[in-house]
Structures are given as structure tokens and as C-alpha cells.
């Protein structure tokens, strides 16, 4: 009995040793991750992959078997590709958040290499969704307030008012698997940007830039400015009416003067001709 369990233990150790041996295979994780695109994992073996050895891929959100000797659990999501006699690839289609931040392993026979697919500023960028970006600027009782919300972004952006180099303070951030929703808020006792000017916000997302789409220029909504603009509208209309009347009068006056002059010249010419007739 004792001999049986000892030999059982020995066999267990032998298997463990061969399972733990990963010097002969090397897994390379994708270095440029984009959601919606392919993720490629490369597995390289130190010697030619023999036909008698099985190939396996494991991993993903539930760390399950993904592919066995080229047969995949979901052909639309996972594909295996033989590159050459020593390298083969796992292709994950349409990468989603759930394919990230989880382990992946390749195995040839008993040789295995496992790594964790972690995202960071160097291997992953996701610009915020333009359709859902929220910008709200209000000027009330002499208080200006700017709120910006960016959805589903990575890494956390640093946003600035472009013309002022003023950084917008982050006030809240929530994270799903990897993507953030980030809220920025800037308050000021004076107008953050002059009335009628375009709000220009530029964010740095990792190494990329994102220009916040703002549809309209800022309309200052305090009663003072609306009265001001009403006054200026009246002024502009008044000036226009005055200008048009003046030009009209001037044209009329010039026309009358020319007519008078013309009449005078005609009379003089007739007189001259009559005079000539007389001399003939």
C-alpha cells in the first residue's frame, strides 16, 4: 500500500514537472490591442512541432479551452493558424473588453506557456465614443461651469481648454473591465471663454489626441448679455436704416443735378446751332 502511494506520488511529480516545463514553448502576447479588431497570440516552440503532439490554446474570460489541434470552440471567434514548423497563432476575432485582462496559454504536448494579457498605455488605446461625449457649459449669476463627460475610453485622458492651456480637473471616473467613463468639471467666477467663441477642448488619450466635438459656439445665457445683444441688434438695424436713407437721398440729389446740367447744355447747343445758321 505504502509502495503504491509512493509510486503514485512519483508519477504525479513527473507529470507535474513535464506540465510545468515551459522552456520549450514561448507565448508572445499581442502588442497593439484595438477593440473590434483581431488579437494575435504567437506560440513558438524550440523544436519542430511533431505530428504526434497535440496543440492547445486556453484562456479568455473564463480561462477555458479555446482550441485543440486546430478545432476551436467557436469558429467565428477563435481561429488557429500554422505559421511554419515551429510557430502557430491563435487569432481572436473582434476583440472586446472581455477578451482583455485575462490569462492565455499555449501548449504543445506537455510543454506549456501561460501569460496574462494586461492592458496599459503602451499596448492599448480606446478613444471615447464621439456620439456619447457630453459637454455642458453654463453661465449663471456670474458663475461659469463647464462639465465634460467622456465614455468608454482608455487610458484616462488629460483634457485642456485649447486656447488657454488650462487643464480640466477630473471629478469622477468609473471603470468597467478596462474602459473608463470620466467626468471633468471646471468652475470659475468669470466666464471661462468669451461669449460667442467656440469652446475648444483637446484631450490626450495615451499617445493619441481627441478633439471634443462641440456643435455650437457658446451663447451666454445670463440676462445681462441677452439684453446687451438685443440693444446691439437695435443699434445695427438703426445704423443700417440711416445708411440706406442717406445713400438713397444722395443718389436722388445727384440725379436731379445731372438732369438740370444736361438740360442747360442742350439749350446752349441749340442756341449755338441757331447762331451758326444765322451766320450761314
Contact residues toward ligand NAG (CB under 6 A) are 83-87, 138, 151, 172, 174-176, 181, 221
CB of 20 to ligand NAG, least distance (A): 25
Least separation in angstroms between CB 238 and ligand NAG: 27
Report which of 161, 169, 163, 202 is spatially closest to residue 186, judged by C-alpha positions: 169
Give 21 or 183: the residue with its C-beta nearer to ligand NAG. 183
Q: Pick between residue 72 and residue 181 the one whose CB is nearest to ligand NAG.
A: 181
Residue 65 or 91: the one with the smaller Cβ distance to ligand NAG is: 91
CB-wise, 63 or 221, nearer to ligand NAG? 221
CB of 151 to ligand NAG, least distance (A): 5
Query: At its nearest, how many Å lie between ligand NAG and the CB of residue 226?
Result: 9
For 174, residues 6+ apart whose C-beta sits below 8 A from its C-beta are: 180, 181
CB 27 within 8 A of CB 105: yes
Minimum distance from CB of 243 to ligand NAG (Å)? 34
- Three-class SS state of 165: coil
Whose Cβ is closer to ligand NAG: residue 28's or residue 115's?
Answer: 28
Beta strands in 69-226 (DSSP E): 71-72, 78-82, 87-92, 102-108, 111-117, 134-140, 143-153, 158-161, 166-167, 170-175, 180-188, 201-205, 208-211
Amino acid at each position: 500500500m505504502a509502495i503504491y502511494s509512493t509510486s503514485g506520488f512519483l508519477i504525479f511529480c513527473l507529470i507535474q514537472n513535464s506540465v510545468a516545463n515551459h522552456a520549450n514553448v514561448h507565448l508572445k502576447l499581442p502588442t497593439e490591442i484595438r477593440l473590434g479588431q483581431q488579437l494575435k497570440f504567437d506560440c513558438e516552440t524550440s523544436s519542430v512541432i511533431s505530428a504526434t503532439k497535440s496543440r492547445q490554446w486556453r484562456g479568455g474570460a473564463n480561462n477555458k479551452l479555446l482550441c485543440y489541434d486546430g478545432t476551436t470552440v467557436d469558429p467565428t471567434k477563435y481561429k488557429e493558424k500554422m505559421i511554419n514548423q515551429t510557430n502557430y497563432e491563435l487569432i481572436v476575432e473582434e476583440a472586446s473588453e472581455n477578451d482583455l485582462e485575462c490569462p492565455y496559454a499555449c501548449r504543445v504536448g506537455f510543454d506549456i506557456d501561460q501569460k496574462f494579457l494586461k492592458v496599459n498605455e503602451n499596448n492599448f488605446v480606446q478613444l471615447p465614443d464621439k456620439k456619447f461625449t457630453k459637454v455642458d457649459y453654463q453661465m449663471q449669476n456670474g458663475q461659469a461651469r463647464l462639465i465634460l463627460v467622456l465614455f468608454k475610453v482608455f487610458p484616462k485622458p488629460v483634457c485642456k481648454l485649447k486656447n488657454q492651456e488650462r487643464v480640466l480637473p477630473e471629478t469622477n471616473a468609473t471603470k468597467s473591465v478596462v474602459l473608463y467613463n470620466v467626468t471633468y468639471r471646471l468652475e470659475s467666477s468669470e466666464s471661462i471663454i468669451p461669449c460667442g467663441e467656440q469652446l475648444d477642448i483637446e484631450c490626450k488619450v495615451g499617445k493619441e489626441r481627441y478633439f471634443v466635438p462641440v456643435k455650437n459656439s457658446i451663447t451666454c445665457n445670463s440676462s445681462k448679455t441677452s439684453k446687451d445683444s438685443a440693444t446691439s441688434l437695435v443699434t445695427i438695424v438703426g445704423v443700417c436704416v440711416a445708411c440706406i436713407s442717406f445713400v438713397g437721398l444722395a443718389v436722388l440729389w445727384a440725379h436731379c443735378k445731372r438732369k438740370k446740367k444736361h438740360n442747360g447744355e442742350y439749350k446752349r447747343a441749340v442756341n449755338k446751332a441757331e447762331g451758326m445758321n444765322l451766320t450761314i
